[in-house]
Amino acid sequence: MAKSRRDRADFYTLKARAEGYPARSVYKLEEMQQHFSLIKAGDTVLDVGAAPGSWTLYVKRNFLSTRGRIVAVDLNPLSLSPLPEGVMEVVGDAFSPEIRKELIAHGPYDVIISDAAPQTSGIRSVDTSRSEALCEAVIFLSEEQLKEGGNLVVKLFQGGGQEALITEMRELFDRVKPYKPKACRDDSFEVYLVGLGRKERSRA
């Protein structure tokens, strides 16, 4: 059977393969990094929904120094073998009480990046509300675990909840912007919410 246009390897898939990244999504983070300077050398970074591991590998290659580390959590194991030095892998539901405890033990974090996506059902309203729930849980984690001045990027499938999530993030961050990287597929309805400069706890 002929492959659909979407199945065929596109520019970003081929580039990811050539550069040794397990997924094309790395170029979304790279573009947001170029645009917002989210991560600095030596930062401690939490990657939520990290598998197969492109975002983690990008942070490791570009920002990990003797200071800092990357904590990568996903329901599934990373496909980075061997696991790069400085990367701590946590397998499980990022929002379960046990895993949350583990993430807290490794925090607090300078930056939280989340490309977490729910299992899709194909029913847009179901998928967007699952994504909003994930997004909300990541924002809550940032409220607890992001250092003052820290940055957040979190993926959202666009439904009706974007404005409410942005309002929530404005309570926590100096600047909040929705951003759609060029590497997002044409037919995708995802957007990233970027929070810059975690406010002091007393102001939040």
> Catalytic residue positions?
155
Please give the Cα distance from 146 to 73 (Å, whole number). Answer: 16
Please give the Cα distance from 183 to 144 (Å, whole number). Answer: 31
Of these, 23, 39, 59, 154, which contacts ligand SAM (CB under 6 A)?
Answer: 23
We find the least distance from the C-beta atom of residue 95 to ligand SAM, in angstroms, to be: 5
Kindly tell me which of 44 and 114 has the beta carbon lying closer to ligand SAM. Answer: 114
Please give the Cα distance from 122 to 189 (Å, whole number). Answer: 12
Residues 142 and 100 sit within 8 Å (Cβ to Cβ): no
- Total binding residues for ligand SAM by CB under 6 A? 22
Place of tokens 């599934």: 76
Count other Cβ atoms within 10 Å, centred on residue 79.
12
Read off the tokens for 84: 């790069």
Radius of gyration of the chain from its Cα atoms, rounded to whole angstroms: 16
Q: Does 51 bind ligand SAM (CB under 6 A)?
A: yes
Please give the Cα distance from 127 to 8 (Å, whole number). Answer: 24
Read off the tokens for 51: 């598998």
Kindly tell me which of 10 and 199 has the beta carbon lying closer to ligand SAM. Answer: 10
Phi–psi pair at 21, nearest 5 degrees: -95, 140
Kindly tell me which of 32 and 116 has the beta carbon lying closer to ligand SAM. Answer: 116
Of these, 12, 43, 49, 168, which contacts ligand SAM (CB under 6 A)?
Answer: 49
Residue nearest to ligand SAM (CB): 49
Of these, 32, 39, 45, 73, which contacts ligand SAM (CB under 6 A)?
Answer: 73
Please give the Cα distance from 150 to 103 (Å, whole number). Answer: 16
Considering only residues 89 to 148 of the shown chain, the ones binding ligand SAM according to CB under 6 A are 93-95, 115-117, 134
Stretch that binds ligand SAM, among 7-15, 70-78, 163-171, 177-185 (CB under 6 A): 70-78
Kindly tell me which of 26 and 193 has the beta carbon lying closer to ligand SAM. Answer: 26
For helices 162-172 and 124-145, the axis angle rounded to 10 degrees is 0
Kindly tell me which of 178 and 197 has the beta carbon lying closer to ligand SAM. Answer: 178
Stretch that binds ligand SAM, among 74-82, 121-129, 158-166, 186-194 (CB under 6 A): 74-82
Q: Interface residues with ligand SAM (CB under 6 A)?
A: 22-23, 25-26, 49-55, 73-76, 93-95, 115-117, 134
